[in-house]
Amino acid sequence: MPPPPPQDRQEMRRYWDEKISWWADSSYEEHPRGPVDRLMAHLRRSVHARAVIALEMLRPHLAGKTVVDVGCGNGHFLHCCLEAGAAHAVGIDISPAAIEEARSLAKRHGTADRSEWHVGRAGDGTLPPGDFVTGFGLVDWLEKDECMQFFKALHGRHFVFSFSEMDGSFDEWVHYFYLIKRLEWFGNGVRAYHHPRRTILRRLQRASIDDVQVVARREMRFGRLVHNLHTLSR
Ligand SMILES: C[S@@+](CC[C@H](N)C(=O)[O-])C[C@H]1O[C@@H](n2cnc3c(N)ncnc32)[C@H](O)[C@@H]1O
């Protein structure tokens, strides 16, 4: 049995139900619609960058494959994977509003027949079948035990996911106070977490995953990608 939810998931659901559309627009919209959008678009350039870099890492392997994206939001990354040649996409998110938006985007992109979208929770110890598992901006929202369950479910799979590194930069401090501290103080039961690189690597090891690489690129600022795609040809 997976451990009981460590925090009020209804709260987390509500939080993302309210936020996902605006969050995704300010992260991925090419043309921000107002000053707030423009500011958020600036701050979230790294979010866009991590999706682009992860897609380039996966692109050579995508033809005919299935990608499972956990915490898929509006499905932006999976829509890109399908355009890049993936045969099938499975999106999972705790927020029904995110899943609804992902579904309607799939209809608009003409990829509804090659994709499925489910409300679900990372950290319940299960993952649907697929060739690749991805998760961007996800582990920030997972409490320790959920994070561990997610990593255990990654065992034996090929994956790439993101985490945030405390690099002492200004942007990272803004992120730390805006996300982690603000929610700790005023989050009404919703919390975000900082899992440092050494914790991520130690937990992956405890999940019997020790052959991984960490990607740090300037465009991602304090964002990092951890993956085991280099083991694909073995
Ligand atoms: C920062 S957004 C990232 C969305 C998407 N991965 C992207 O990069 O565009 C985090 C997403 O994780 C989802 N999420 C948070 N906690 C989750 C959980 N325990 N299980 C599944 N999804 C979760 C949220 O609903 C939200 O859509």
Q: What is the mean pLDDT of the chain?
A: 91
Distance 138 CA to ligand 1 centre (A): 5
Those residues whose C-beta lies under 8 Å from the C-beta of residue 48, and which sit 6 or more positions away, are: 27, 28
% of the chain at pLDDT higher than 90: 75
Give the CB-side neighbour count of residue 32, counting CA atoms within 13 A: 16
Q: How far is the CA of 62 from the centre of ligand 1 (A)?
A: 22
Higher-confidence position of 143 and 38: 143
Among 15-29, 37-51, 154-168, 202-216, whose mean pLDDT is lowest? 37-51
Q: What is the pLDDT of residue 204?
A: 98
Gap between the Cα atoms of 198 and 230, Å rounded? 20
Q: Are the C-beta atoms of 101 and 24 separated by less than 8 Å?
A: yes
Q: How confident is the model at residue 4 (pLDDT cuts 50, 70, 90)?
A: very low
Judge if the beta carbon of residue 91 lies within 6 A of ligand 1. Answer: no
Does 172 have pLDDT greater than 90?
no
Tell me which residue has its CA closest to atom 8 in ligand 1.
136
Q: Report pTM.
A: 0.93
Cα separation, 56 vs 219, whole angstroms: 14
Cβ contacts of 207 within 8 Å, gap of 6 or more:
148, 151, 152, 154, 155
- Residue 34 is which amino acid? G
Q: What is the pLDDT of residues 87-124, one digit of tens each?
A: 999 999 999 999 999 999 999 999 999 999 999 999 88
Q: Is 170 exposed, middle or buried (0-12, 13-18, 19+ CB in 10 A)?
A: exposed
For each of the domains in the chain, give its residue range(s) and CATH number, in order of start. Answer: 9-231 (3.40.50.150)
Residue 201: HSE in the Cβ half-sphere, 13 Å Cα cutoff: 11
Q: Are 56 and 122 in contact (CB under 8 A)?
A: no
User: Is the minimum distance from the CB of 160 to ligand 1 under 6 angstroms?
Assistant: no
Tell how far the Cα of 137 is from the centroid of ligand 1, in angstroms. Answer: 6
- Most confident stretch, 26-30, 34-38, 156-160, 162-166: 156-160
